[in-house]
Amino acid sequence: MEKKFIGAGLLSGLVAGIVAYVFARIFIEPQVAKAIDYEDGRSEAEAALMAAHGHGGHEHGAEVFTRSVQENIGAGVGTIVFAVSMGAFFAIAFTIGWTYLAHHRAGADPRWAAALIGLLGFVAVFGVPFFAYPANPPAVGDDDTIGARSTSYLTLTVVSVVAVIAAVVFALWLRQRWGGLAATLAAAIGYLVVVTIAIALLPEFHEVPEPVMNGDTIVFPGFPGAVIGDFRVYVIANQVILWTVLTTTFAGIMSWLSRSGSSQRAATPAAVHS
C-alpha cells in the first residue's frame, strides 16, 4: 500500500506542477520580463552616469541561457521538479498519518487526512517562509547578499517544517488529556511561538533599488512598486494553486483506491462461495 501512496503522491505532484507552471507562464513571467527590462535600463543609466564622470562602465557577461529557454524550459522543469518532490513528501506524511488514523479511528476518511496535510504543508513550506522573506522579481536584491538570503530562507523553512511536525505530534499526545480543540490550539500556539522566534533571530533584507541619482537629479527611477506587488500576489496564487491541485488530486486518488479496495474485499467472499 505504501508504494501506491508514493505513486499517488508523485502523480499528484506532476499534475500540480504542470498546472502551476501554466499559471506562472501566463501571469508571473510578464512581471519577470518587466523586472528584467528595468534592470537593463538601470544598468544603461548607471553606465552612462559613470562614463559622464570619467569612470569605465562594467561589462555584463553573455547569458548562458536565453530568456526563451529560461521561461519555457527552465521555469517549467523547476516548477515540476519542485511539485513532484512535494508530492513525494506529501505521500510520506500521508502514509504516517493514515497509519495512525487507521489504528485509532475506524472508518476515517482519507480525503480529510490529505486536506489537513495539504494545509499544513502549504503553511510550513511556503506560507511562513514567504511571510518573512517574500519573493522578489529580478533586479530586486543585492548580489552580495544572495547567499545570506538563501541561507536564511532555507533555515526558516527547515525550522517551520520541523516545528509543524512537532506541533502535530504534540497535539496528538495532548489530545487524550485536553481534548481535540484544546490540543490543537496549544499546538498551533507552540508552532507560532517557535517560528516567530526564528524570524526574529534571522536577519532582515530590504533591498528594493532606489532611484539612480546624479546629485539631486533622478537619472533613473527606483524599482516600480506595482511590479513587486503584482509579482508577489501571483507567486502566492501560484503556490495556492499548486498545493490545492496536489491535495485534491491526491485525495481523489486515495478515495478511488479506498473504494477499489472495498469492492475487491466485498467480491472476494462471493467468489469463494461460488
Q: What is the pLDDT of residues 134-147, one digit of tens each?
A: 999 988 878 788 89
Quick one: how far is CA 212 from the chain centroid? 33
Question: Are 63 and 174 part of one and the same domain?
Answer: no
Number of domains composing the chain: 2
In a domain, 35, yes or no: yes
266 pLDDT band (50/70/90 cuts)? low
Question: Are 34 and 120 part of one and the same domain?
Answer: yes
Question: Are 110 and 80 part of one and the same domain?
Answer: yes
Q: What is the pLDDT of residues 217-244, one digit of tens each?
A: 898 999 999 999 999 999 999 999 999 9
Beta strand spans in 111-211 (E): none
In a domain, 213, yes or no: no
The neighbouring-strand residues paired with 24 are none
Q: What is the pLDDT of residues 68-83, one digit of tens each?
A: 778 778 889 999 999 9
Inform me whether the pLDDT recorded for 274 exceeds 50. no
Instruction: Report, as an integer, the average pLDDT of 194-211.
Output: 93
Question: Are 118 and 21 part of one and the same domain?
Answer: yes
Backbone angle region of 214, left / alpha / beta, with phi > 0 → left and psi within -120 to 50 → alpha: beta
Determine if the pTM surpasses 0.75: yes
H helix runs in 63-138, sequence order: 67-69, 75-104, 110-121, 128-132
Measured in degrees and rounded to the nearest 5, phi and psi for residue 60 equal -95, 135
Range of the domain at 105: 2-140+226-273
Inform me whether the pLDDT recorded for 94 exceeds 80. yes
Task: Report CA dihedral (181, 185, 186, 190) to the nearest 10 degrees.
Answer: 150
Cβ atoms < 10 Å from Cβ of 212: 18
- Could you give the C-alpha distances from 188 to 39, 123, 165, in angstroms and in order? 42, 12, 11
Question: Are 166 and 266 part of one and the same domain?
Answer: no
Question: Are 234 and 156 part of one and the same domain?
Answer: no
Highest mean pLDDT among 14-23, 108-117, 263-272: 14-23
In a domain, 219, yes or no: no
Question: Are 43 and 165 part of one and the same domain?
Answer: no
Question: Are 92 and 123 part of one and the same domain?
Answer: yes
Rounded Cα gap, residues 166 and 168, in angstroms: 5
Degrees (nearest 5) of the Cα angle 107, 112, 118?
145
Question: Which pLDDT does position 272 carry in this prediction?
Answer: 45
Degrees (nearest 5) of the Cα angle 248, 92, 5?
60
* Amino acid identity at 146: I
